[in-house]
Every structure is written in C-alpha cells, then in structure tokens.
Structure 1
Amino acid sequence: MLYINALFLMIIIAAIVLFIVDNVKKEDDEDCKIVAIIEFNKIARYVLIALIAVFVFLRIYGFGEFPGGVNQDGAMAAVDAKALADYGTDRFGTKLPAHLYAWGYGQMSSLMSYCMVPFIKLFGLNVITMRLPILLASLMGIAAFFFLFKKLFSQDAALIAALLVAANPWHYMQSRWALDCNMFPHMFIIGLMFLVYGISRKRYVYISMIFFALCMYSYGVAFYMVPLFLLAAAIVLLVMKLIKLRQVILAIVIYFVVSLPIYITMLINAKGWDTISLPFVTMQSFPDSVRTNDMLFFSDTPVTQLFQNIKTTINLVFLQKPDLIWNSIDAFGTIYLCSIPLVFMGFVICLYKSIKEKEDDKKAMYRLLVIYSVCAALVGVFINGVNVNRINIIFYANIIFMAVSIYHIVSWKKYSSVVFAVAYGLLSVLFVVNYFNAWEEQIEKCFYSDFMDALYYIEDFDFDKCYITPDTQYEGSYAVSEILTMFGLDIDAEYFQGKTNEFNGKSIPYSERFVYSNPTETKPVYDEKVVYIIRSSAYSNYDFSEWIVDDFGDYIVVSSQ
C-alpha cells in the first residue's frame, strides 16, 4: 500500500500543479470561471449513479455482522434506548433525560439513543436496531452532500461528490457501528445543506436550525463549534443583505427552542445547580463529571496544551497518521492518504471564490464552506487528546474540498476523470476488501466479540447466579462488563434498578443473580444453578474439573449445562 499511495499522491500533485500553471494565466475577468460547468452524457451519469448504488449496498451489507461484536458505548446507548422505549426513562430511571448519565464520570449525548427507540420498540434490542440510526443518518448525509453540491455547481458535480463521500473510508466505517458522537457531523451537514438552500428560499433557514439544534444533542464539542459557526454565518448573510434581521431572530428562536434543554443541562453542571425535572424532560446534574478535563481552557498548562492540540490535529487530520483501530485503517486514513493535496486546493478555491465570485448567492455559499472548515479545525485546538471521533466534524469539510478540487480538475481536462477513477476505484476496492477481512479480524477483538458470544450462549441457561469477569476492557473494568451483559442478555431496566426481582422466569434480585467478579475460590463448589464467564487466560487459575467448559476464544463459559 505504501507504493500505491505514493504513486497516486505524485499523480495528484502533478495534476494540481498543471491545473494551477494553466489557470493562473487567465484574465482577471475570467478568474471566477476557471473551468466550464462539467456536463456528462447519459452513460456517464448512469455509471456514476450505479457506482453510488454499489457503495450504498456495501454500506448496508451485513452491517449487523460487520464489525463483529459490540462496542461498549454503543451497547450503553442501546440499553438506555431500550429503557426509554419501555418506560420513558434511562436505565437508571431518569425520565426523558436531555443528556445521558452513561459512565457517570463521563456522560453521553442522547440523540442516538432517542433515534434507536422506535426501532427497538418495533424489533427488539439487538445489534441491527442499535446500528440502524447511525446508518440511516450517514445515508442522509450522503443525500445532503449531493444536494449541497447540486446547489453550488450542478447535478453532475453533485454525483461526483456523492460518490466520493459514499466511498470515503471515514464515512463508511463510522456508519456501521454505534457511537453517539458520530451523529454530530451528519446533523451538521444536513443543517448546512438547508442553510445553503435558505439563501434563496428563507423557509429552509428555519429547517436548518432544527438540525443545528440537534447537533447539540449529538456531541459536547458542538457547544464550541455550532454557535460560533451560526454567529459567523449570520454576520456574513446580514452584511451581504441576503437575510433580514427579523429572519435571523426567528431562526435563533427556533434553534434555542429545540436546544434549550441541553443548554440548561450544561448550565446546571457548570454552576453546580440541582437537577430540574419537567414532565417532558429532565435536565440532570452530573456531580461526578470529569469532562472539563477534555477542554483546553481547563488545562493546567493551557499554552503547552494548545501547541500539543495543534500538533495532534495536524498529525491526525492532515497527515492522517494512525488512530484508534475503530476510527480508521492505517493504510487508507480517513479520506485516503493521497487526498490531502486536493483538500488544500479545494480550500484555496473556495476561499478565492468567497472573495471573487460575482453572484452573491454563490459567494455566500463559498463563505459558509470556509467558515465551516475554520470552525471545525478549531475543535481540534480546543479539545485535548483529539482523535478521529472527537474531531469528526472536520471530515465532511475535507471531503467537500476534495470534491471541489476533483470537479475543477475534471472540468478543466475531462480525461483526468480516468486518472481519478482508476486511483480512487482501486483504493476503494482495496479498502473494502481490507475492511471485511484483515480489519474485521482485529476489530472483533476490540468489540468483545468472544465475550458477546459467551453471553448469547448462556441466554437460555437455567441459572440462579452468574459470575461474569470484570476484566473485559481492562482488569477491573466492571462497568464495561456490566453494560455489555445488559445489552447481550436484554436485561430489563426496572430489574436492573431493583424495582422488580422478576426476570426470565426467576424471582432473584439483579444484584444477587449477576455478579461481576471472578471466582472467589480456586476450586469453586459445583452448583447446577451457577454459571461462570471468565477470561481464557485466567482459566488455569481455577479447578473446574467437575464442570462443563465451553471455549469462546478469549472467554470461557463454565457451567453444569
């Protein structure tokens, strides 16, 4: 892959250089029309549509099986969603929370859980209903990307853009497992699309505010990024006289009506106030929260941390250095390793057109794209310990600039489309093959596939007590073992809370029936009503000679059944 990436990188750089050399010679009055609007024939359009359909199919194919296993954050979102579906509370009994308690020390955004509710209500708690909301949000993101480019350029340009995002590694990977913060970029790009259309038809501005408000329920960093973007966008549109003050005020009202509960929740925790419970929402206090440690402004050494954050952002976003395995595949990066020159070129084009474009509507659109990218980059500066999912808001911007560059180069020299088709076609095929094979073998270990198989295996066992290892994510990760167990065995929220002792035909309290501990004796006393799930590496520490032992890779089930 090293040589393939290097080859395509050199080809792309050469194409960019030739494009620049040829177009800097244009007369000033032609500068804003560097290229003609690209138009494909019917066959080319059908090919693009077919390719988009192929990648959408690959996006959907086996999304309940690949990646194998279950991530603990996704399991937690789903368990809370099941409680919301059954009782209108989270798993702890909090009624309609604006923000989820999650791990206690670190909370969880609520949008994904609420989106899971109708699917869990209809089809039960399982991997598919857990992952379906992020898959659908990602597909909506592709559609928003298409309409954004259609408004900015043309339908044919929109097809190129939609294909690029459909085949993008970051966009593909995040859509197939459930992580609450990954809803953020999709809500934002949909909001941005409606805002762009709202420049000419104002009712779309008001619709955009709903999606920008939903961003606040998607990820905490939205509190840095979204208000800053909206403020800058409002100033630009007001100065350009493309929107009236009363329309801005109405948009602000809509935004705050939808997002007010989460803003109040953040204020409660900033001021140390008590929980506020209303019939339709709970704005909860989280006294054990340590989330402020993630913020630059609360660092002990803010200046040192600032430079560290900038360095990390550059390494992660622009140099595409390796990140966590569930966020990217090293050989491909987030947008393919050879694509960064296209991102920079696209940014420069949009910046240039935001100044020189003669049509005010389009000039405003370019300005919104530039503002978006700058605000997204600032997320990496303000947040400590940035990784791909923490700065996920920037990747739509990168794909936008990448698509702008390819559109201009292909419009300039149509035969260059063959080069891009070969390069990204080959990279896409290699990525998909790697995703379903080598990467899958690695990720299922990180997503506790063997542990989940062990849980599914004992689901129909007749037991009074189950000892479950607390050593899943790391030694003593009690909370991770518990949330995975609650998901795998579909444990009822009120049973978990102790409001009832009835579960699966047994009347035994939850705390007595499920014990998150390794065996307390080296030779456990044989008991037909007891089951153990332990790590395979710990099996030799115990004498289970009288028991039935079932091997599930990294985990072992010990029982009498």
Structure 2
Amino acid sequence: MRIIDYYNYIATAACIFTGAAAVIICKKNNMKDLSARATTIILAVIMFVAAFLRLYRLGAIPYGLHQDEASLGYEAYSLATYGIDRNGYPFPVYPITWGCGGGSPLMIYLNAISIRLFGSGVVKLRLLPVISGIITVFLFYLVVKELTDNAKATHKNMISLFAAFFLAVCPWHVILSRWSLDANIMPLNMCIAMYLFMLGIRTKKTYVYVLSAIAYAICMYSYGSATIVVPVHLLLLCIFCLKNKLLNLKQLIASGTVFLVVFLPLLIFYMVNYLGLPEVFAEHFTINRFTASRSGEVFIALDSSLPANLFDNLKVFFKVITIGDDTDMLCHFIPGYATLFEFTFPITFIGIYVTFKDVFSKKSKDSAEKRAIDFVWLSMLIACFIMALVIVTDISRMVMMFLPLIYFFVKGFGFVLERTARVFVVIPVLLLFAAISFSKDYFLDYNNVTGNLFMPGYGEAIERAYEIAGDERPIYSTYDGLSAPFMLALYYNDYDVNRFYKTVNYKDPYGEFRVADSFGNFIFGLPQDIDNADADNAVFVLTESEFEAFHNADSYSSEHLGGYCILHKH
C-alpha cells in the first residue's frame, strides 16, 4: 500500500473519533469567531490557493487534449468562425457532436464567444472551467455565509471559510476545473441557481424567484443529467416552500412560466428527438435530430436485469459518497483521494443527519425559512440519488451531487465545531495534509497515469504534419493508443468545417459515436505497406515504437515531436 492509503485509514478513524466526540461531549464551544478583518485576509489566501491549483501549468497538466475537449473546442471554433457546427447545421439549439450528443450547448456557445474574443488553443479552451471553478469557490463561501447568517451558529466566519477552503482543495473540483468537459461548469451554474432560490426564500420577492428560475433553466443547457435532476429537485423544493408559505401560487406561476420560456428551445429539441416532431431548419438556427441514441448506454434496462442493476447502482452510489469509486476514468479522480477525499464521509453523514433532523423533526427550533434553505441542498441530494438509480453511473453524470455533499460535510464540521472546544481542529489539519499530498501527486504524477486519455503530444504532431502536407498531400496517422484522433486533428489545425463535413467518412455513420477514419487528405490508420502508399508524396505520423520498427525510415526526413515521429519525403 501507498502512504496515502495508510493516511486514509488513520484520517477516517480520526474523523469517526471527532464526530463521536461532538455527539458525546456536547459541550458548547465558547471560542470567539474570527473577526471581519481576519476573515477577509484568510479568504484572500484561500482564493489565491484556489486560483493557483487551477491555473498552474494549465496547458501542461493534463498534457494533451481529451477527445471530448477537442470535440467541444472544434464545435465552438466552427460556430464562431463559420456559423455552422461540424455536421453543417447553422447554430443548432443542441449540437449533436458525435451524433448522439456528448457536448452540451452552454459550454460550446460560451467557448464560441471566447474564441471570437481571444482565439483558440489548449489553455484558452480550459480557461472557462478554470474561471468557473474559482468563482464557485467564492460563491460557495457566500452561500454558506448566507446560511449561517440565518442560523444559530456562533462561528459563522470560521464555518464559511472552512467551506471555501475545502472546495478550493477538493480533488473532484480541482481536477474538474482543469479540463474542458461540458459537465465541468455545472457546479457554478447549479450554485448560482440554488443561491438565488435561497435569496428568494429569504427575501420573499418574486423577481428573485424568477431569476432563480432563469438560472435553473440555464442549468438544463449545461449537462444532460440536469434534465432528470433539476425537475425532481424543483418539484420537491416547490412543494416544501408552498406548504410552508415561503412561495405563493403567483410566484410559482411567474417563475414556472419564465423557466419554460428559457427552456423552450431545448424542450422542442427533445420533442423532435423523442416524440417525432419534424426538424427545424432556419437560416440562423437549427433544431435537428440525433443520428443515434445513447439511451441504452445511459439508462439501465427495464428487463429481468433491473433488480440487479438497481442494486449495483446503489452500491456504486454509496461507494462514491464514501471512499470513492476507483472504477471511474482517471480524468475524474486520482486513486487514493476519491472525489472528496476518502476520509471525509463520517463527517458528511453527520451533516446529512443533522440536516434531516433540522428540516423534518417536530422538535426543530429552526424557522421555516432556515429549514427551507437547508432543504434546497437536501432536495438536490435526493434528486441526484434518484438519478443515480436509473442511469449507468459515473462521476461526470453525477456532477450535481458533489456540491450538496460538500455542503453536508461543512454542516457536519459546523456541528463538531459548535459542540467541542478543541477537537474540531482535527478536521482542517487532516484536510491540509491531504491537500498537500494531493497537490504533489497531481502536479507530479497525473500525466503519467492519464496518457491514453489525453493523448499527449499527438495534437502537436498532427498539427506539424498538416503544416508539411497542406491540403494536397495525404496524411496517414497512427491509431495506436489513441481515441478518436480525428478530433484532435480538427481542433489543432483549425480545420475548415465546410471541407470537413463534405469529405468526412465515418466508420459507422449511425453508430452510437460517429468516429471518422478519414476526412480531406487525413487518413487515420497506417497502410499495411507504407512503401506502396504514395510514399513519395505522403506524410506519416507514427508512434516512436512504430518508427523504430519501420525499416525504410532512412529514406525519409523525420521530425520527432511530443513522443511521435513525422515522416515525409521532400
């Protein structure tokens, strides 16, 4: 076992001991809260740490581009430059990308704006999730501050700073903020929507509820899982608020109407795809149909395997919220650290229990307003749990669940802090050492374990090959250790989208994921006999091992770049 594994065992035991001490000792902590000046200074330090962890060596860690990053980036480039997506549709409501989706519209269109302003490139492509991540840390501080200002907690500043600190160093959120998957801006979108709803509960003002409805509707454009989670979450939340007279019928109708108006284009898109409505092709926008469905790959089957699948999903769910699920792809986590650190779950469970008690217990002394604000988080967790039962789970699909879990961890920490004089310090100390260890492993070792996912060096190599070949000479690319390399070829070369969609040849045009084996003068896959493949005119991109095995390499000019070799004849 590694040192971090031993540390997790010790830290988990320490968290269990700390939680038990808070329950058993039950002695009010008379320590003074931090002053406003000290809070401001510490918050500034936390924000600096959050920014550093998300910006340091952004273009090099992860090294390369994931196929979904390149897909999203090229889709944005095509829309920003040519006004059509890579399938030739003008400004689609939902770009179908791989044919079955896989790139949500909000991230694509925000990147299209960024490209128009600043141009394309790996760092620029990743700046949006970085900025979103940093803002989320600060916004989460404000959210917890809003909650503690309206609660009986006597250490409001300490709890709010702890919330910001944990999110700033949380493995899930740091990794998520450093690469450009469409799901990776969902925490910010969701945090904004929930914060506005909490302000609505606090102020009782209709326009605040309407702003919250707009934010929730925008969440629907952020990632596919929102189509399940957001409606369930809002249904539970609105019922609770109506019952407790924190939301009236007029406000509900106004907010619901605005939500539907903002959501309407996406709703029509779903009706086109799932109810058979005709496609819409206008000069400046498109509502088109997927070429393939992912429902079989996403949702569990409604057959005899249902009970077993439900049980498996339940196991995965509890694994994810406790010690983490090591079967997920390494682009989402580092083994040994899980999503929220492996040792935090005892305190998280305390937070969930305390929240349930505060919200539903008849003996609760909290106001209806305070209970409703707590229920904002609880209803989101319940909605995510329901979704986790019916889909094939992974970290990206459950992206909306982790911010509520962090909130409950903070709530558990607040419980410990308020009831113990000194024991509470164990939790931030454990987190500090874990954060240092995680940062070291991430910045020193992450590239070593994610090579096949981010295809390091290939983008630069295929870009150089295109510089040599232009649009006339054929380019033969290796496929060894690569996943959908055609996407990197498109993105790194700012390839003309008109030429792409008119010349592309997909391996399976109606497959679940459309992967190209050629377009223009690019061919992905090496010929069996290179010497008879128009070798005098062709440009080849090979792995170093393929180059070493190539007997006639001396008759070519060779360039070695990023672990690949570009062969060509003048």
Task: Give the corresponding residue for 1:109.
Answer: 104
Query: Is the partner of 1:296 in helix, strand or coil?
Result: coil
TM-score under structure 1 length normalisation: 0.90
Match in the other structure for 1:21: 24
Q: Which residue does the alignment assign to 2:388?
A: 380
Residue ranges of structure 1 left out of the alignment (5+ in a row): 27-33, 500-509
Name the SS for the 1:78 alignment partner: helix
- Structure-1 residue corresponding to 2:264: 260
Deviates more, 1:522-531 or 1:229-238: 522-531
- 1:141 Cα offset (Å): 1.9
Q: CA deviation at 1:435?
A: 0.6
Aligned: 1:304 with 2:311: no
- Report what 2:349 is aligned to: 344
**Aligned match for 2:477, one of 461, 466, 469:** 469
1:193 aligns with: 195
- 1:379-423 per-position Cα deviation (integer Å, ceiling 9, x unaligned): 211111x11112111111111111111122223335335322321
What one-letter code is carried by the residue in structure 2 that aligns with 1:160?
F
CA contact (8 A) 1:49 1:159 kept: no
TM-score (ref. length: structure 2): 0.88
For 1:357 and 1:284, locate their aligned partners in 2 and report how far apart those are by CA, in whole Å. 53
Q: Is the contact between residue 174 and residue 327 of structure 1 (CA under 8 Å) also seen in structure 2?
A: yes
Measure the CA separation in 1 of the matches of 2:108 and 2:339.
26
SS in 2 for 1:96: coil
Which residue, out of 182, 186, 197, partners 2:184?
Answer: 182
What whole-Å deviation, never above 9, does each CA across 1:426-480 have from its counterpart, x for those lacking one? 1111111111111122224420112123124335325422433362555xx5xx1
Residue 40 (str. 1) matches residue 34 (str. 2):
yes
Q: Which residue of 2 aligns with 1:502?
A: none
Instruction: Mark the CA change 1:443 to 1:255 in structure 2 (over 3 Å): closer, same or farther.
Output: same
Query: How big is the shift at 1:300?
Result: 6.3
Report if aligned partners of 1:199, 1:242 keep a CA contact under 8 Å in 2.
Answer: yes
In the TM superposition, what is the alpha-carbon distance from 1:61 to its structure 2 partner?
2.0
User: What SS does the corresponding residue of 1:59 show, helix, strand or coil?
Assistant: helix
Are the counterparts in 2 of residues 37 and 411 from structure 1 also a CA contact under 8 Å?
no
| Greater Cα offset, 332-341 or 315-324 | 315-324
- Which of residues 266, 287, 292 in structure 2 aligns to 1:288? 292
Q: Which residue identity is paired with 1:307?
A: F
Q: Could you tell me whether the CA contact under 8 Å between 1:81 and 1:120 is conserved in 2?
A: yes
**Following TM superposition, by how much is the alpha carbon of 1:374 offset from its aligned partner in structure 2, in angstroms?**
1.1
- Letter of the 1:232 partner, please give it: L
- Give yes or no for contact 2:25–2:420 (8 Å, CA) kept in 1: no
What SS is found at the alignment partner of 2:231?
helix
Aligned to 1:165: 167
1:150 alignment counterpart: 145
1:251 to 214, 230, 255: 255
Range that drifts further, 514-523 or 336-345: 514-523
When structure 1 is superposed on structure 2, of 320-329 and 42-51 the one drifting more is 42-51
Q: 2:8 aligned with 1:10, yes or no?
A: no
RMSD of aligned residue pairs (Cα, Å): 2.5
Which consecutive aligned stretches of 4+ in structure 1 deviate over 4 angstroms post-superposition? 34-38, 297-300, 524-529
Contact 1:107–1:289 (8 Å) recurs in 2: no
CA separation of 1:389/1:292 partners in 2, compared to 1, >3 Å: closer, same or farther? same
Distance 1:468 1:313, change over 3 A: farther
1:523 paired residue number = 531
* Partner of residue 449 from structure 1, selected from 443, 450, 456: 456
Report how far residue 340 of structure 1 moved: 0.6
The answer to whether the 8 A contact 2:543-2:565 is kept is yes
2:403 is the counterpart of 1:401: no
2:127 to 119, 122, 132: 132
Per mean C-alpha deviation after superposition, the further-off stretch among 9-18 and 521-530 is 521-530
Q: Deviations over 1:502-553 (max 9, x none)?
A: xxxxxxxx94422223134242467564211133444426633311223346
- Is 39-48 or 92-101 further displaced after alignment? 39-48
Indicate the residue corresponding to 2:443 in structure 1. 436
Structure 1 residue 205, shift from structure 2 partner: 1.6
Pick from 310, 313, 321 the counterpart of residue 317 of structure 1. Answer: 321
List per-residue Cα deviations over 1:491-511 (Å, max 9, x = no partner): 121232349xxxxxxxxxx94
State the distance in 2 between where 1:542 and 1:496 align. Answer: 33
Q: Deviations over 1:242-265 (max 9, x none)?
A: 111111111111111111111211
**Gaps (5+ residues) in structure 2?**
150-155, 504-517
Q: Give the counterpart of 1:556 among 527, 543, 565.
A: 565
| Partners of 2:86 and 2:97 within 8 A in 1 | no
State the alpha-carbon separation in 2 of the partners of residues 8 and 198 from structure 1. 39
